[in-house]
Amino acid sequence: MSENIKTAKMIIDKSFKISEIDSRIYGSFIEHLGRAVYGGIYEPGHPSADNNGFRQDVMELVKQLQVPIVRYPGGNMVSAYNWEDGVGPKEKRPKKLELAWNSIETNEVGTNEFFEWAKQVNSEVMMAVNLGTRGIDAARNLLEYCNLPGGTYWSDLRKQHGYKDPHNIKVWCLGNEMDGPWQIGHKTAYEYGRLAAETAKAMKIVDPRIELVSCGSSNTAMPTFPEWEATSLDQTYDYVDYVSLHTYYGNRDNDTTNFLAKSLDMDDFIKTVIATCDYIKAKKRSKKKLHLSFDEWNVWFHSNNQDKQIEPWSVAPPLLEDVYNFEDALLVGSLLNSLINHSDRVKIACLAQLVNVIAPIMTETGGASWKQTIFYPYYYTSVYGRGTAIQAIVDSPKYDSKDFTDVPYLDQSIVYNEEKEELVIFAVNRSLDNPLHVDVDIRSFEGYSIEEHIVLANDDPKAINTLQHEAVKPVASKESYMENGKLVLVLPKMSWNVIRLRRK
């Protein structure tokens, strides 16, 4: 098809504030699943391994991403996990059947080791407790082990294990995806709500400083959504600080125009959960506003068939190793835009996951590590998406797809960093055929000019990165320009863009 240029208009005004962005929306997730831990972050025999067995090449890539918080140890795995198996002398730790992913868990890495790793990559830990096969007792004991300075059984046990200072873990998930029939110890919304509320009460007695996340729905297609939120939050609302959302997207029909519109589903998911939270707030005559923790999100579908071939009960099998392509990176860019545009209520989010398992970072056992296509939108948004989210007024041409109507070709989020006097535009052009010119009125940013325009573009939506060849990588663009105080963005067809403006 011929390249007809499409045009859009945008107004950016610093008074149109959405919210200060909580940096924790750029969080991630490491589960004891596949090669995320063993062969991912931890590989004692690796040439780059430190004294604790952690791969330093992986650490460097994680540090680049500036990941503020990492959820651990699961995921589905946590619902049958005994945390005590992963502490104390390594030679005494039991090897166990891991029921969620049909693997053997060696327990070489546990709470203390992961806390040490997180500290080294400048990240906080977001700890999940088992509300599948366990409950109040295990949760309060783990919290006492992690957060109390000493003088009690569990805190003194941590000291015996070589960790004198408490870990002071702030954010705790009350179970994982308890709405899912696939979950070990699956519960109804009422059963979960009762257990989570009582666990929350006990945990807040042990350490009143912590923040707690109540389990929401695993995705919008769940038959219990959003009734699950309404029923469970009726029990937990007074004791928790966040409700979780999880979702994954795939292009199973090989329909790129429809796939690139799937961030609209994320928007609807967020709006529905906000409405449900506010309904419970009204019902309880509460003054408390509940925030959202979108603590699992990504593209996940490429590895579904190969995962069926995995031999059960092996150690760290290569599970969920999606090879991401260029169109996946475009959608990830749009999903990050959605999180920024809802940053008034979404305060924590976790790209699931971080290494090898549906991940931006891949490793070879004993070998090198490399960046998948989705690494780049995650990296740039994490680094430059700190500050105040601004609501842009946008007039964009639109299209219809199989599941969506009125999909704007232009998808964007705007971040203003007042301290750095920097305005950042993250923009996706969803058009498969046409460049997009965007006339931007930056009325309240007089004296600002383009510092850089970074673009991720490729003519092949299925282009991938491998260890040997990086087909999808960012390049500098000189196409966008300033004219009479206005900004004109030139966005190539099928592209993800970051445009940074600075005050001169």
3-class DSSP state for residue 101? coil
From the list 63, 103, 112, the residue with the least C-alpha distance to 84 is 112
Q: What is the pLDDT of residue 3?
A: 66
Q: Of 349, 384, 419, which residue is a domain's last?
A: 384
Task: Indicate whether 158 and 81 sit together in one domain.
Answer: yes
The span from the CA of 113 to the CA of 218, in Å, is 29
Whole-angstrom CA distances from 423 to 124, 167, 196, 387, 396 are 27, 36, 42, 9, 21
Q: At what angle do helices 111-120 and 136-147 cross, to 10 degrees?
A: 50
Burial environment of residue 471 by CB neighbours within 10 A (0 to 12, 13 to 18, 19 or more): middle
Report pLDDT for 504. Answer: 83
Q: Which residue has the tokens 């940096």?
A: 23
| Per-residue pLDDT tens digits for 426-460 | 999 999 999 999 999 998 999 999 999 999 999 99
Cβ neighbours for 433, distance < 8 A, ≥ 6 positions apart: 1, 3, 4, 493
Q: CA–CA separation, 308 vs 319, rounded Å?
A: 9
Other Cβ atoms within 10 Å of 212 Cβ, number: 21
What's the CA gap between 180 and 34, in Å, rounded?
20
Distance (Å, whole) CA 489 – CA 497: 10
* Backbone angles phi and psi of 160, in degrees to 5: -60, -30
Q: For 360, what's the count of Cα atoms within 13 Å in the CB-facing half-sphere?
A: 28
Same domain for 219 and 241?
Answer: yes
Residue 42 to residue 109: CA distance in whole angstroms? 8
Q: How far apart are the C-alpha atoms of 412 and 425, rounded to whole Å?
A: 7
Do 256 and 397 belong to one domain? no
Structure tokens at 26: 């750029």
- Nearest-angstrom CA–CA distance, 312 and 305: 15
Q: Are residues 335 and 427 located together in one domain of the fold? A: no
Same domain as 131, residue 72: yes
Structure tokens at 85: 């198996």
204 and 137, same domain (yes or no): yes
Last residue of a domain, one of 335, 356, 384: 384
Residues 326 and 452 in one domain: no
pLDDT at 163: 98
- Is residue 226 domain-shared with residue 299, that is, in the same domain? yes
Helix axes 136-147, 189-206, angle to 10 degrees: 30
Do 173 and 303 reside in the same domain of the chain?
yes
Q: Count up the domains in the chain and report the number.
A: 2
Residue type at 284? K
Q: Which DSSP state fits 42?
A: B
Residue 123 sits in which domain range? Answer: 22-384
Q: What is the CATH number of the domain that holds 400?
A: 2.60.40.1180
Residues 234 and 211 in one domain: yes
C-alpha to C-alpha distance for 241 and 218, rounded to whole angstroms = 18
Question: Cα separation of 370 and 257, whole Å?
Answer: 28
Supply the residues annotated as catalytic: 177, 296
In this structure, are 297 and 433 located in the same domain? no
- Residues 210 and 204: beta-carbon distance below 8 Å: yes
- Position 484 scores a pLDDT of 87
Q: Are 428 and 436 in contact (CB under 8 A)?
A: no
Measured between alpha carbons, how far is residue 347 from residues 67, 171, 291, 294, 424 in Å?
14, 12, 7, 8, 20
Predicted TM-score (pTM) of the model is: 0.97
pLDDT tens-digit profile, the chain (504 residues): 346 889 999 999 999 999 999 999 999 999 999 999 999 999 999 999 999 999 999 999 999 999 999 999 999 999 999 999 999 999 999 999 999 999 999 999 999 999 999 999 999 999 999 999 999 999 999 999 999 999 999 999 999 999 999 999 999 999 999 999 999 999 999 999 999 999 999 999 999 999 999 999 999 999 999 999 999 999 999 999 999 999 999 999 999 999 999 999 999 999 999 999 999 999 999 999 999 999 999 999 999 999 999 999 999 999 999 999 999 999 999 999 999 999 999 999 999 999 999 999 999 999 999 999 999 999 999 999 999 999 999 999 999 999 999 999 999 999 999 999 999 999 999 999 999 999 999 989 999 999 999 999 999 999 999 999 999 999 999 999 999 889 999 999 999 999 999 998
Residue 462, strand partner residues: none
Q: Tell me, yes or no, whether 306 and 446 share the same domain.
A: no
1 belongs to a structural domain: no
d(CA 371, CA 466) in angstroms, rounded, equals 8
* Strand positions, DSSP E, 175-234: 211-214
Q: Is the dihedral of CA 378, 380, 382, 386 positive or negative?
A: negative
Apex 130 CA angle, 127 and 132, nearest 5: 150
Q: State the Cα angle at 342 between 336 and 346, rounded to 5°.
A: 90
Query: Are residues 212 and 237 in contact, defined by beta-carbon separation less than 8 angstroms?
Result: no
β-strand pairing of 124-129 with 103-105? unpaired
